[in-house]
């Protein structure tokens, strides 16, 4: 009976550890909480860009991974690129900005 309890306890511990490891993040994979946080950051950045009257925000793509925001797409001027990066950096939760925007 005592061995059965030990076996059950060991099995439960192993399953718990495997479950926790499956939800953890890695360099190329986000955990569930990080994915939600990144989705919120992406939404906030898109909203901030949309609120800029001189930016055509529909032409700027926004992706976020672990707080790093990547901006891509085509804009008309270098000033648009600079403004989009500046606006993005001002959003709470943004760790850094990767600029992949191009001029038309």
pLDDT digits (tens, 9 = 90+) for 80-100: 999 999 999 999 999 999 999
Q: How far apart are CA 16 and CA 86, in angstroms?
A: 44
Say what the pTM is. Answer: 0.67
Domain membership of residue 5 (yes or no) is: no
More confident residue, 34 or 101: 101
Instruction: Name 74's Cβ contacts closer than 8 Å, sequence gap at least 6.
Output: 59, 101, 102, 103, 104
**Structural domain boundaries enclosing 40:** 27-103
Domain membership of residue 48 (yes or no) is: yes
On whether the CB atoms of residues 12 and 60 are closer than 8 A, the answer is no
Domain membership of residue 46 (yes or no) is: yes
Domain membership of residue 49 (yes or no) is: yes
Domain membership of residue 88 (yes or no) is: yes
pLDDT at residue 12 greater than cutoff 80: no
CATH number at residue 67: 3.30.1340.30
pLDDT digits (tens, 9 = 90+) for 27-44: 555 565 556 699 999 999
When divided into structural domains, the chain yields a total of 1
């Amino acid at each position: 009976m005592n061995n059965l309890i030990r076996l059950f306890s060991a099995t439960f511990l192993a399953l718990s550890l495997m479950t926790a490891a499956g939800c953890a993040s890695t360099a190329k994979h986000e955990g569930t909480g990080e994915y939600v946080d990144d989705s919120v950051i992406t939404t906030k950045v898109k909203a901030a860009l949309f609120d800029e009257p001189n930016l055509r925000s529909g032409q700027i793509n926004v992706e976020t991974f672990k707080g790093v925001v990547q901006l891509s797409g085509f804009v008309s001027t270098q000033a648009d690129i600079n403004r989009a990066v500046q606006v993005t950096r001002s959003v709470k939760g943004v760790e850094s900005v990767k600029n992949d925007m191009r001029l038309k």
